[in-house]
Structure 1
Amino acid sequence: MVSKKQEARHLEGVKSLIDIIHNELSGELEKTTGELIEERRFALEELGTEISDDAQIEYSQVLPSLKFQEELQVSRQDVKHSLGKMKDRPYFGAVTIADDDDGTEKLYIGLNSLKDPSTRDLIIYDWRTPIASAYYANHLGNVDYEVPTVGMQSVDVKERIQLVIEDGRLLDVFDSELYIGDDALQHLLVDTAKDKMKSIVTTIQADQNRIIRQNSAQDVLVLGPPGSGKTSIAMQRIAYLLYLHRHKMNAEHMLFITPNEMFGDYIAEVLPELGEASINALPFYRLHDKLRRGYEFETLFQHIERMRTASDTSAYQLKSSPRLLDAINRHVSHLAERGIKFRTIKIKDEYFATSEELTELFYGKFKDSPIDTRLKKMQVELWPRYEAVLHKAIKERAKALKRVPSYIGTDEELERQAKNEKTKQFRIVRNYIQRLEFVNVEKIYLDILQKLDKAVRQTTLESLRERKLNYEDIAPLLLLTIKVKGLQREPKIQHLIIDEVQDYSPVQLAAISAVFPNARKTMLGDRHQLVHPVISSQLKGEAIELTKSYRSTVEITDFTKSLIGNTITQSIGVHGDPVVQLSYSEFKEKLRQLDSDSVAIIARDAAHAAEVAEELPDVTLLSHDQYTFTKGKILMPNYMSKGFEFTHVFILDYDLYDADKDRYLLYTVASRATRHLYLVEAEQ
């Protein structure tokens, strides 16, 4: 039987130990900071500000020592900061284990490890340590867990408890023989809809724990219903991998590909809460930065709006199909013999290199080399010509400036002006050579489309002539750019998180793999969460399926399940209010009275949202280019709500949705609500 009084005494002892370590570290920091400042001052005085050759040698010997001490000082500061945070909640659970070698031992599990400096024994175990799996296994008795480089280990779990600690005070203790559920789960789970996404490390379930600790040497596909913790699992997995590979991987080696612009801000606090640096996040749309400048790129939300009103979606369907991906791969495999297209390079109206000349270099002079080597040899061939033409232009411009009858500068100043002018003027040619822009990827793309659908090829050509690229053109052009030119790869990224993966076409996923060739992937999705009017899930491969939903009340989860005939998802949520139907006037009154900073008003589209915003003065209208997650009463088109959660959700014009055609859209939108869901009738 768990004794709350006994656990409270243990907590006080741990806090006292943290104070001792914190105070000792503070004193050491104060001392070493003074020593470091003194060493810097001494180095400057001895070596002086004017460093001679001899002094440079001496300084180069001192510098590594100073650098090492400064890095050590930063590390100590980080530990001190962690200790300060740890005192508020040193741990959140404990597990009593027994094995043949060490007998019975009680292990406390927290966000970070803590050692007793006098004995070097671990007082708290980091949740990412292998033995912590015994806690997350969610059952008593024999538990197997994996130790990297060692293999599977076995331990007998005798007791498992959860502790609710806030501001250094023990609020509650739960004896959990099975899993974190019922009262314990609801006490521990925070309604994350009140703020940005938080860590779920205190409530990780056994199935979630297995995903978090999956081997990082393979791709992982996780499918689950709304509220099953998919995105949170991904964040915990990042923290786990950073811990597991801390000597060779850091936050800069990871990237989160998000569903929309706001999502990066929404998840920004999770990793810092776990003591790790935030990783970069961007939506797929932002990869268009790797394509040629000068185009107007359609965003995802603009694309969805267009698709909803389009009379013909065949072009989108083709460009998102496995058929196009196969055609791209086949076409590229033949480019060594035929089919590559080149642009003529001009400087003003004068030819620098014609497409025919570039074709002759590629298929003639350098024909025996691989494609990427040929292009590099072409660069080498063009650089001296560029330098010669630039030098000649600078020389002629300098002469022209010097012939000006009035004084406009010294010869040296005029020569410098001529060089700046012509270098700037010739920059486009330099970029053409440097970035292989003379390779006409767009023309190659059009040739591929010509073989598949001439009408689609024609509409794409018209779009390119207008310098506009539709959202569905970004992936194939990016994939071709990388496959043909061999540029724009980011090899330093070692791990990718791809959220809402069911929204990605085979061409988009292939483009992502091409941009990040060294990255393993954790992919998260739900085949039924679809807001796109045309797309159907094309997910393939073996997946880990989650079936429990923790986010919403039982009533809301049951309602969302009924929309799509789902009989698999289990609701682990609390009971709450029933789903409520409101007239539009009742909605406005309810909204006026509502005191909450987590309210979403879901409109049909951007135009509808703008229309509603005019009569709701206290509501924040979210735009397509929103970059930060906003709290309060927010109004948005239905497709923008995906990925987020809110305490209160109002679905406007609910009665205008088609129960069959829009069922997956309604399922997605309704599942944004954690506690209260309102179905609002269209205004009469």
Structure 2
Amino acid sequence: MLRKKRLDIYILIMKGDYPMVRNENLELEKEQSRMDHVVSVIDKEIERLAYEYTEKLERQKELLKESSSIKINNSSNEAMWESSGELREFEQNLVIKSNELNQVQNRRAVLEKMQEDPYFGRIDYHNVNEKEEEQIYVGIGSLFDKEENLIVDWRAPISALYYEGNVGDRVKLRFGEHIEAFEVDLKRQFRVRNATITGMIDTDNVMGDPYLLEVLESSSSNLMGPVIATLQKEQNRIVRESTSKNVLIQGVAGSGKTVVMMQKIAYLLYAYRNFLKAEDILLFSPNRIFQAYISQVLPSLGEWDVAGNTFSQFITRRLPSFSLKRSDVGAASSYGAVKGSLPFYDALQRYSRLLKKKHLKFRDIVLHDEVLISKEEIEYYYETIHSQGSLAAKLEILRVQLLQKLEILKEEAVDAEWVDEELQHLSAASMHQFERQTHDITKMEGNIRKEIVAKAFLTVEKKINSQSHIRFLAQYIHFLRVIPQLINLEEFNVSKDDWQEHVKEVVEMLKEKEFSMEDMTAYYALLLQMKGIMQQNSYQYICIDEIQDITPFQLKLLKDLYPRAKYVMAGDLNQNIWQNRLSNQELHQIFKEEEIESHLLLTSYRSTREIMAFADQFASLPERTAKPIRSREKPAVFYANQTDFSEKIRQTILSRIEKGERIAFLSPTIKGAESFASYLDDWNIDYQKIYDENDFLNKQVILMPISLAKGLEFDVAIGLGTDEILKGLSKESYQQIWYTIFSRAMHQLYLVVSNEQTELLKGIDPSTYLHGQETIEVEGGSSNLNK
């Protein structure tokens, strides 16, 4: 019965008719009048903030001018401390003024968004103990006019009624330490465009959420849009749950994991605004394309300043001297699985303890092509150090000893021949300067010699401070070579001989200053073991989307870098196309005794029942079957060996283009995508190749590998699975790749294979897809593929 009512609502939406509001015309007039008043208040507030911003900016400029006139007085210690204290006070004032400017700007940005869409919902309710009826309107930010609360921020505790309650429900809400119960008397949803109410419905338990279905039936976009109006009950509870230190949000494709994570970030910034700032949050996305796709989500929720990262950005910033080798899904190997594992991280830590005793790779410390301190001498110093601390602590002691040795060498070098040569080539002006300083020729020469030596040794001193006497790259290669003694490689189906051949490939890459992602991460981790944990930002929250794309090694590294941070993680192990082997067991091993609150979302809001019935057959975790809420056509298969294949798919795609739908041709690999490009060229279709994560989606038709399409969605997805493309895929990632490709489709899925005997469709229920000879229904009519 409930399913039939949902279908009736869906039909009403498709027709443009909505469930009636009692006294609709009168109510609509009242609501529009109220919205007009709210917009006028917003306009005035924006105008006031613009004036306030100008005033604060001018004051900041004045402070900058005043601070430039402050000089440190070195005439006495007292004067120096007084003047430096004055400068510090100015600097603190500048920081305060800068923060105030940011707050004003952010508030203006929220209000400017609210000008066009002030609020999306209304709740009438009463406290069950008091019976007095109250009313709130819910939007992305709060708004007051004198004593009246015109709009309540969606993150406020009372706003949970909008997401948790339907008419007649009794909802318990927590306010600080106490809980209150409320009954919902009316729940009204608004559809707003340019501050005009274009649709309005009153909902109850039976009717569900018609606007949600309307949003889901709309076309996709290059940017993920606002999501707070359609946040569902189970999602809202995850967003507002804040008692657990670490949260894991798992779910099927299209279940809103990213939406929930972003809303949780916005909620945390609101609920803990006195203790948590945007710069206290580190957010990871799977790639830069997805990062751009979600870039407007947090601003649409009222938050601007949370910086997004990919792990590749995070690691390359720390090793700027090296370039990152681009990887493809087809290139995923057992070697990468080894380097991404927890045993590999454990091996690195055991190796660092071994380095406290032996195997450290040193190089000579040289000046003017002469050895100042030989690597053998450095090794001797190192072996004589008795330290109970870490490897980094012992190497720090070595650094200090080398600097002390350098001071002795400086004194010995004063009478060296190269100093004589430098002295002879000194300019007359420099000689006169030293003469004026000393008024003594004997002292003058001594000072000049010391100055020459000091300048020459300065470079050496810098190198010692940066520990360039350690051959870090050689040390990493040595670590890789001894891995067979530290790890049982057979567990990864890798032989010792194959591993040593792989190490040779790494050496060749390093000659070009190039690293794979796994090697760059491991090398950075080794540097941390040798140099110590460098000063890090004390992030309070680490938020990781597509957690299955993070290797156990990378997650353990983050955990060691930021041990006090809370972690919010979202992902779907069915989409583990990189085979990173991040299991629940490994998660709990990484977080040890820390609590992880797990949530599982099974409702699919992106794809239709027909698409997910097909895609779920490729899921590696079949118990996590998606529960879609929409229906459309079945997926359709095109056979490339048919003579009219090219014309059939061309006509189908052109009809979709005419409807304004966004279309993605998705391949498991870049090579596979490139092999299909000639078809699109022949069809004279305006399309965009996306082979690099620095590209930005800007065309209606896209050709890209699935590794760059993670998290994205398209009206139409075409999976490219010819025999030539299938050849390069590893069996381990086979299911996850195709599940991920198929679940990118919102409304229609097509699949291109070589013929009816393709390996890809073996074991797949033929009733879940249409064959090339069948008629494929499309919106507004049918397209016979035999034409």
Partner in structure 1 of residue 719 of structure 2: 651
User: Which residue of 277, 282, 296 corresponds with 1:250?
Assistant: 277
Q: What does 1:460-609 align with in structure 2 at a 5 Å threshold?
A: 461-466=503-508, 467=510, 469-488=515-534, 490-532=536-578, 535-536=580-581, 538-540=583-585, 541=588, 543-564=598-619, 566=622, 569-582=625-638, 583-592=645-654, 594-595=657-658, 596=660, 598-609=662-673
1:663 aligned onto 2:735: yes
Partner in structure 1 of residue 785 of structure 2: none
- Aligned-partner SS, 1:143: strand
Q: Structure 1 unaligned runs (5+)?
A: 308-312
Q: Deviations over 1:120-139 (max 9, x none)?
A: x4221111112222221144
How far apart, CA to CA, are the structure 2 residues paired with 1:180 and 1:395?
Answer: 93
Partner in structure 1 of residue 780 of structure 2: none
User: Which residue of 459, 463, 467 corresponds with 1:432?
Assistant: 467
How far apart, CA to CA, are the structure 2 residues paired with 1:566 and 1:350?
Answer: 67
Question: 1:607 is matched by which residue type in structure 2?
Answer: K
How far apart, CA to CA, are the structure 2 residues paired with 1:601 and 1:394?
Answer: 74
Partner in structure 2 of residue 305 of structure 1: 330
Question: 2:132 is matched by which residue type in structure 1?
Answer: G
Q: Deviations over 1:361-402 (max 9, x none)?
A: 455334244544333333332334457768969997776466
- Aligned-partner SS, 2:384: helix
**8 Å Cα contact 1:199-1:232 kept in structure 2:** no
How far apart, CA to CA, are the structure 2 residues paired with 1:438 and 1:531?
Answer: 30
1:10 aligned onto 2:31: yes
* Residues 449 and 286 (structure 1), Cα distance of their counterparts in 2 relative to 1, 3 Å cut: farther
* Residues 425 and 135 (structure 1), Cα distance of their counterparts in 2 relative to 1, 3 Å cut: same
Question: 1:318 is matched by which residue type in structure 2?
Answer: V
Partner in structure 2 of residue 623 of structure 1: 691
After the TM superposition, which of the residue ranges 210-219 and 25-34 deviates more from structure 2?
25-34
**8 Å Cα contact 1:342-1:358 kept in structure 2:** no
How far apart, CA to CA, are the structure 1 residues paired with 2:52 and 2:466?
Answer: 53
**8 Å Cα contact 1:97-1:106 kept in structure 2:** yes
Q: Deviations over 1:343-370 (max 9, x none)?
A: 2343375445555545554553342445
After the TM superposition, which of the residue ranges 602-611 and 251-260 deviates more from structure 2?
602-611
Partner in structure 2 of residue 211 of structure 1: 238
How far apart, CA to CA, are the structure 2 residues paired with 1:640 and 1:39?
Answer: 44
Question: 1:640 is matched by which residue type in structure 2?
Answer: L
**8 Å Cα contact 1:431-1:437 kept in structure 2:** no
Question: 1:231 is matched by which residue type in structure 2?
Answer: T
Partner in structure 2 of residue 674 of structure 1: 746
How far apart, CA to CA, are the structure 1 residues paired with 2:392 and 2:549?
Answer: 32
Question: 2:360 is matched by which residue type in structure 1?
Answer: K
Partner in structure 2 of residue 193 of structure 1: 220
Per the TM alignment, residue 67 of structure 1 is displaced from its structure 2 partner at its CA by 7.2
1:383 aligned onto 2:383: no
**8 Å Cα contact 1:265-1:627 kept in structure 2:** no
**8 Å Cα contact 1:602-1:651 kept in structure 2:** yes
Partner in structure 2 of residue 373 of structure 1: 393
**8 Å Cα contact 2:713-2:744 kept in structure 1:** yes
User: Which residue of 707, 712, 718 corresponds with 1:639?
Assistant: 707
Per the TM alignment, residue 581 of structure 1 is displaced from its structure 2 partner at its CA by 2.6
Per the TM alignment, residue 279 of structure 1 is displaced from its structure 2 partner at its CA by 2.5
Q: What count of residue pairs does the alignment treat as equivalent?
A: 670
Q: Percent identity?
A: 23
Partner in structure 2 of residue 232 of structure 1: 259
Q: What does 1:116-135 align with in structure 2 at a 5 Å threshold?
A: 116-117=145-146, 119=147, 121-135=148-162
Partner in structure 1 of residue 768 of structure 2: none
**Structure with bigger gyration radius:** 2
1:105 aligned onto 2:131: no
Per the TM alignment, residue 472 of structure 1 is displaced from its structure 2 partner at its CA by 3.1
- Aligned-partner SS, 1:209: helix
Per the TM alignment, residue 485 of structure 1 is displaced from its structure 2 partner at its CA by 3.1
How far apart, CA to CA, are the structure 2 residues paired with 1:390 and 1:435?
Answer: 22
- Aligned-partner SS, 2:584: coil
Partner in structure 2 of residue 458 of structure 1: 500
* Residues 263 and 33 (structure 1), Cα distance of their counterparts in 2 relative to 1, 3 Å cut: closer
Q: Deviations over 1:277-313 (max 9, x none)?
A: 2433333234443766665543343xx3323xxxxx5
- Aligned-partner SS, 2:564: coil
Q: What does 1:398-409 align with in structure 2 at a 5 Å threshold?
A: 400=421, 403=424
How far apart, CA to CA, are the structure 2 residues paired with 1:211 and 1:377?
Answer: 49
How far apart, CA to CA, are the structure 2 residues paired with 1:47 and 1:518?
Answer: 37
* Residues 35 and 357 (structure 1), Cα distance of their counterparts in 2 relative to 1, 3 Å cut: closer
* Residues 606 and 16 (structure 1), Cα distance of their counterparts in 2 relative to 1, 3 Å cut: same
Question: 1:509 is matched by which residue type in structure 2?
Answer: L
**8 Å Cα contact 2:663-2:715 kept in structure 1:** yes
Per the TM alignment, residue 268 of structure 1 is displaced from its structure 2 partner at its CA by 1.1
How far apart, CA to CA, are the structure 1 residues paired with 2:616 and 2:138?
Answer: 35
Partner in structure 1 of residue 335 of structure 2: 315
How far apart, CA to CA, are the structure 2 residues paired with 1:42 and 1:557?
Answer: 61
* Residues 574 and 292 (structure 1), Cα distance of their counterparts in 2 relative to 1, 3 Å cut: closer
Question: 2:387 is matched by which residue type in structure 1?
Answer: K
Per the TM alignment, residue 425 of structure 1 is displaced from its structure 2 partner at its CA by 8.0
Superposition TM-score, scaled by structure 1 size: 0.83
How far apart, CA to CA, are the structure 2 residues paired with 1:115 and 1:620?
Answer: 47
- Aligned-partner SS, 1:668: helix
Q: What does 1:340-359 align with in structure 2 at a 5 Å threshold?
A: 341-347=360-366, 350-354=370-374, 357-359=377-379
**8 Å Cα contact 2:266-2:303 kept in structure 1:** yes
Question: 2:330 is matched by which residue type in structure 1?
Answer: E
**8 Å Cα contact 1:2-1:173 kept in structure 2:** no
Partner in structure 2 of residue 173 of structure 1: 200
Q: Deviations over 1:502-523 (max 9, x none)?
A: 2333222212212333322111
Per the TM alignment, residue 271 of structure 1 is displaced from its structure 2 partner at its CA by 1.2
Per the TM alignment, residue 655 of structure 1 is displaced from its structure 2 partner at its CA by 6.7
How far apart, CA to CA, are the structure 1 residues paired with 2:676 and 2:550?
Answer: 31
Per the TM alignment, residue 80 of structure 1 is displaced from its structure 2 partner at its CA by 3.8
Q: Structure 2 unaligned runs (5+)?
A: 1-20, 74-78, 435-447, 490-495, 589-595, 639-644, 757-787
* Residues 323 and 20 (structure 1), Cα distance of their counterparts in 2 relative to 1, 3 Å cut: closer
How far apart, CA to CA, are the structure 1 residues paired with 2:583 and 2:60?
Answer: 62
**8 Å Cα contact 2:319-2:524 kept in structure 1:** no
User: Which residue of 84, 95, 99 corresponds with 2:112?
Assistant: 84
Question: 2:607 is matched by which residue type in structure 1?
Answer: S
Q: Deviations over 1:421-454 (max 9, x none)?
A: 8766875554326999599455345434433354
Q: Deviations over 1:404-436 (max 9, x none)?
A: 69x999678999999988766875554326999
Per the TM alignment, residue 634 of structure 1 is displaced from its structure 2 partner at its CA by 1.4
**8 Å Cα contact 2:410-2:453 kept in structure 1:** no
How far apart, CA to CA, are the structure 1 residues paired with 2:693 and 2:238?
Answer: 33
1:275 aligned onto 2:302: yes
**8 Å Cα contact 2:616-2:626 kept in structure 1:** no
- Aligned-partner SS, 2:577: coil
